[in-house]
Amino acid sequence: MAKDVKELISKDEIHAKVKALAEQIKADHPNGVYCIVVLTGAMIFFVDLMKELRALGVQVGFAPMKLSSYEGTESTGKITVDLEVTKVKVEGKWVIIIEDIVDSGYTADFVRKYLLDRGAISVKLCSLLDKPERRKVEVAINYRGFVVPDKFIVGYGLDVDGMYRDLPYIGYIEE
C-alpha cells in the first residue's frame, strides 16, 4: 500500500459495486447503452463496468471526452474541453455519462449540457463516487457507487497530478 494513502474502499468492494451498477443499468437499458467516458479518471471504472455489462448481454458503445478544470486538488470552476465529442456521435441517442467522481458538480453539469446541445435525447449520469459535501451546483446522479468524505480521493483511476491512478483500491491522501 502506498504509505501516504489511507484505504477507504477495497478492491473487492469496488468490484461488487461495479457489478451492482451494471445490473442497475441493464434493468433500464436491456439492449444496449451508449456511454460518454470522461477521461482520464473514469477510464478504469469504465473498462470494468463495460466488462460487467457485456457479461450481462448488454451492448456497449462509447466515446471518450477529456476535460480539465483542476489545479492540484482544487477545481478552478473553468472547464476546458481537451477532447471533443462530435455531434454525429450523440445526436438522437440516449447517453450515459461515466464519471469517476462528482465533487463540485461543475464538470458533470457542463458535460450534461454539452451533450444535450449536441442533440442527445436523454443524458444520465453514472458516477462511481460522490462527494456531496463539496457540491456547488446540483446534479442528479442516476447511478451512484459510493459516497465519500470531503478528502482528496485517489486510486482506481483517480489521481493527484498524475499519481496514484494505478492503485487497485480507493483511498485518500493523509495530511
Query: To 10 degrees, what angle do helices 43-55 and 11-28 make?
Result: 60
Is 38 one of the binding residues for Mg ion (CB under 5 A)?
yes
Q: Are 54 and 29 in contact (CB under 8 A)?
A: no
Of the candidates 70, 116, 132, 146, which one interacts with ligand IMP according to CB under 6 A? 70
Please, what's the largest Cα pairwise distance for the chain?
A: 48
Least separation in angstroms between CB 101 and ligand IMP: 5
Is 128 one of the binding residues for ligand IMP (CB under 6 A)?
no
Q: Which stretch binds Mg ion (CB under 5 A): 6-14, 46-54, 96-104, 130-138?
A: 96-104
Q: Which stretch binds Mg ion (CB under 5 A): 32-40, 109-117, 119-127, 128-136?
A: 32-40
CB of 38 or CB of 44, closer to Mg ion: 38
Residue 120 contact, options Mg ion, ligand IMP, none, Cβ 5-8 Å cut-off depending on partner type = none
Q: CA–CA separation, 108 vs 97, rounded Å?
A: 8
Q: Is 57 exposed, middle or buried (0-12, 13-18, 19+ CB in 10 A)?
A: exposed
Identify any residues that bridge with 14 across adjacent strands, giving them in sequence order. Answer: none
Catalytic residue of the set 28, 82, 100, 103: 103
Helix (H, G, I), strand (E, B) or coil at 148: coil
> What is the per-residue binding string for ligand IMP in 20-49, x denoting contact by CB under 6 A?
------------------x--x--------
Residue 4 is among the residues annotated as catalytic for this protein: no
Q: Strand order of the sheet with strand 170-173? A: 5-9, 170-173, 153-154
Amino acid type, 162: G
Active site residues: 103
* Residues at the site binding ligand IMP, with contacts judged by CB under 6 A: 38, 41, 69-70, 75, 99-108, 152-154, 158
